[in-house]
Amino acid sequence: MAMSMYQASIPQFVKMLTNLSNILKKGEAFAKEKNIDGAVLVNDRLAPDMFPLSKQVQIACDQVKNGMARLAGIEPPKFDDHESTFEQLQERVAKTIAFAKTITPAQLEDSETKEIKFSIKEWSFEFVGDQYLLTWIIPNFYFHITTAYNILRHNGVEVGKSDYLGG
Amino acid sequence: MAMSMYQASIPQFVKMLTNLSNILKKGEAFAKEKNIDGAVLVNDRLAPDMFPLSKQVQIACDQVKNGMARLAGIEPPKFDDHESTFEQLQERVAKTIAFAKTITPAQLEDSETKEIKFSIKEWSFEFVGDQYLLTWIIPNFYFHITTAYNILRHNGVEVGKSDYLGG
């Protein structure tokens, strides 16, 4: 007995993206309540050379969309990185959840031994499937969800650990 | 074929704790270079009601120490939460890595179906082993490592994604 690649990924990613959506809702409500333009929060960052909230959400989504598509051996949908409002970020998260839900356990069968190759700018990466999930997709996914949470929390939005972990 | 509970946890936790140690070293070096008392960073936080860096590191360590001990069915070592310097945080991380390395694949065999029960303050939790790892230990572990990183990054420490992900 052990865990399948599907079990170790899709259900928890869908849950965390749903939690992210709820955290973003709290951010949007906070901005409305304080009469702040939501874009102030969407464009905020923890350091001048870090990505803003919008990009944190985009990358968290793309870890799931592109990463799981690679493991499933299918073409991921293309999403433009145009989001500049809470409403648009919600759409991005919703589209990503919808795509993740189309991936089946059968598509991920034996993906733990699949050879994964990709490049980002000038860097090339090579992984075996299970290492790609465990040492790339998962740590990156949680990094960007947590950083999105931290940006809002740092701005005073009342989110807590239970919003992050979900019910 | 699938992933074992051991594969999905210990090697990556050891790697990430090693990365955390390297991130903390950069924090310590930054404080020295700027002639800042290291305790200023160790006690800093992203919001007044969030935990400081020291506690983020302690909790990240405890996810591995207590969480993996529960799954392995062994008693975890007890560490006092007394750390107030970078040096002490490094010791905490090193002790956690050393403990994690004592856990064997055999001890985690069939832990995916183990019943896990524990309580934190007034809240009681119940999980099946694989869900405990995937929906509790892993998201909590990455949350606290990322928040430790974000606290230092927010203070100007030059850490980047490659420090977080490791080589």
Distance, in angstroms, between B138 CA and closest chain A CA? 9
Query: For A128-154, how does the pLDDT look when each residue is reduced to its tens digit (9 = 90+)?
Result: 999 999 999 999 999 999 999 999 999
Q: Could you tell me if B120 lies within 8 Å of chain A, comparing CB atoms? A: no
Residue to test with chain A: of B108, B131, B137, B150, most A Cβ within 10 A: B150
Distance, in angstroms, between A85 CA and closest chain B CA? 23
ipTM confidence score: 0.97
Query: For A13-51, how does the pLDDT look when each residue is reduced to its tens digit (9 = 90+)?
Result: 999 999 999 999 999 999 999 999 999 999 999 999 999
C-alpha–C-alpha distance, residues A154 and A30, integer Å: 13
Q: Could you tell me if A77 lies within 8 Å of chain B, comparing CB atoms? A: no
Q: Are A143 and A44 in contact (CB under 8 A)?
A: no
Q: Which pTM was predicted?
A: 0.97
**Cβ-based contacts of A113 with chain B (< 8 Å):** 1
Query: For B145-166, how does the pLDDT look when each residue is reduced to its tens digit (9 = 90+)?
Result: 999 999 999 999 999 999 999 9
Domain A10-160 = CATH 3.90.226.10: no
Query: For A112-130, how does the pLDDT look when each residue is reduced to its tens digit (9 = 90+)?
Result: 999 999 998 898 999 999 9
Q: Is the pLDDT of residue A102 over 80?
A: yes
Confidence class for position A1, pLDDT limits 50, 70, 90: low
Asked if A139 and B139 come within 8 Å (Cβ–Cβ), the reply is: no
- Picking from A3, A140, A156, the nearest residue to B112 by CB comes out as A3
Q: Is the pLDDT of residue A167 over 80?
A: no
Q: Are B12 and A142 in contact (CB under 8 A)?
A: no
Considering chain A, what percentage of its residues have pLDDT values greater than 70? 99
3-state secondary structure of B108: helix
Bridge partners of residue A126, in order along the sequence: A117
Q: Could you tell me if A32 lies within 8 Å of chain B, comparing CB atoms? A: no
Domain segments of chain A as ranges: 10-160
Residue B112, exposed/middle/buried by CB under 10 A (0-12, 13-18, 19+)?
buried
What's the pLDDT score for residue A120?
Answer: 87
Can you give B26-47 as a three-state secondary structure string?
Answer: HHHHHHHHHCCCHHHHHCCCCC
Q: Could you tell me if A165 lies within 8 Å of chain B, comparing CB atoms? A: yes
What's the pLDDT score for residue A30?
Answer: 98
Q: Could you tell me if A59 lies within 8 Å of chain B, comparing CB atoms? A: no
In this prediction, the residues of chain B whose per-residue pLDDT falls under 50 are none
3-state secondary structure of A120: strand
Question: Which residue in chain A has the smallest CA separation from B133?
Answer: A8
What's the pLDDT score for residue B13?
Answer: 98
Centroid of chain to Cα B132 = 16
